[in-house]
Amino acid sequence: MRLKSALRMVLAVSLLAVLSVGCASDRKVIDQADQVHGSLEKAVIKDEVLANYLQEVGDRIIEQAAKMSADGKGPSKHFATDNTWMFGEEMRFHFVNSKTLNAFTTGGEHMYIYTELFLNCKSEDELAAVVAHEFAHIYGRHVQKGMDNRLKVLAIAAGGAVAGAAVGGKDNWAEGAAIGGGLGLAGGSLLNMGFTRQDEAEADKYGFRFYVRAGWDPERFGDFFQSMIDKGYDKTPAIVSDHPTLRSRVEKAREYAAELPPEAADWRREPVASAARFRDLQARAVQVGKNTPNDRSLENSRELLQALPRSCVSPIPAFEDQVAAQQDLVKKASEKK
């Protein structure tokens, strides 16, 4: 009797997870992104010169993305529901004061470039490539897709637990369910990594298109990835990474550049900042950062910030404190229910 009750419970959890897949609406993602921004906001660079510069780079990308959207170009998920919010004035790009090499978006109306990444850029082309990549995640609704994928992982794990309990029988059902659920979770996590790699590759693909049409040098799109290779970041095997390898991304960028039509030469524009001004802006970021809280000094939000993605542009594995923070947040959330 206890076995049947347990199986019914696990099946109910599995069914609930499956039925919930696809429920990550734009509104839910935007609201979640706003909550995260509230925790990170004190570390956001408020300096008007720096903020306006980054926003101008981002706006050039959004302008071209809006034109592509109007022409019906993009992944199917982009056109699944109304997407006009992606091109509104609320879309903001932020510099975050941090010693971490990082860039990420939470999928709503905020995209983040950490100052350490900005300082590692050799040119505006490199910065614009990262900014374009981040906006492409929003364009492709990758955060919404990721939220749905996590629910699928829960469903796979629940299904594994059901199978394990059945194999374990009346006397060993609990142990069988634990083993089956663990195997399901591991398999589901690897599946989820594959989707994430696909999203990262897609963000490079559309990010390149936004970047080139916004006027930056197509030959320079892969430069930041190459710089990271030169610094030894490309050591994680692809199968256990949630990103394509940096080397494959550099190769793809070269392929994209080689495939451009002849008229692409007419898309070129002057950068937002000259090379000299770009260096001045980097120096300004260092000075402003001395009087701005960094992302690790926000005591009330440290755990949440630790759990955030460390880098959207690097295949480096998750840090131990990141994993621990994510697990602790999940535990606390479950305790509140």
pLDDT for 52 beyond 60: yes
What CA–CA distance (Å, rounded) separates 335 from 337? Answer: 6
Q: Which residue has the higher pLDDT, 220 or 1?
A: 220
- What per-residue confidence (pLDDT) applies to 237? 56
What SS3 class is residue 156?
A: helix
More confident residue, 145 or 66: 66
Q: Which residue has the higher pLDDT, 149 or 25?
A: 25
Residue predicted with more confidence, 291 or 1: 291
Phi-psi region of 265 (alpha: psi -120 to 50; beta: other; left: phi over 0): alpha
- Quick: pLDDT tens for 203-252: 999 999 999 999 999 999 999 999 989 988 866 654 445 568 889 999 99
DSSP, residue by residue, 99-118: SS--EEE-SSSEEEEEHHHH
pLDDT score of 189: 36
Mean pLDDT computed over 120-130: 97
Mean pLDDT of the 51-64 span:
98
What whole-number distance in Å separates Cα of residue 221 and Cα of residue 212?
A: 9
CA dist 103 → 111, 231, 255, 312 (Å):
8, 17, 24, 5
Which runs of consecutive H residues, i.e. helices, occur in the chain?
2-20, 26-40, 48-70, 115-120, 124-139, 142-213, 223-230, 246-258, 275-289, 302-307, 320-336
Predicted local confidence at residue 162, as pLDDT: 47
pLDDT category of residue 184 using cuts at 50, 70 and 90: very low
pLDDT (tens digit per residue) in 268-280: 999 999 999 999 9
Token pair, residue 221, equals: 């799109």
Residue labelled with tokens 């629910």: 151
**102: confidence class by pLDDT, cuts 50, 70, 90:** confident
- The domain of 112 spans 2-336
Write out the two tokens for 161: 């637990």
Give the pair of three-digit tokens for residue 9: 């419970």
Strand order, beta sheet including 103-105: 92-96, 110-114, 103-105
CB 130 within 8 A of CB 222: no
Q: What is the pLDDT of residue 289?
A: 96
Cβ distance 140 to 203 under 8 Å? yes
Q: Which of 96-110, 148-162, 238-252, 317-331 has the lowest mean pLDDT?
A: 148-162
- Cα(323)–Cα(300) distance, integer angstroms: 19
Domain count, the chain: 1
Q: Within 13 A of 107's CA, how many CA atoms are on the CB side?
A: 22
> What pTM value is reported for the model?
0.75
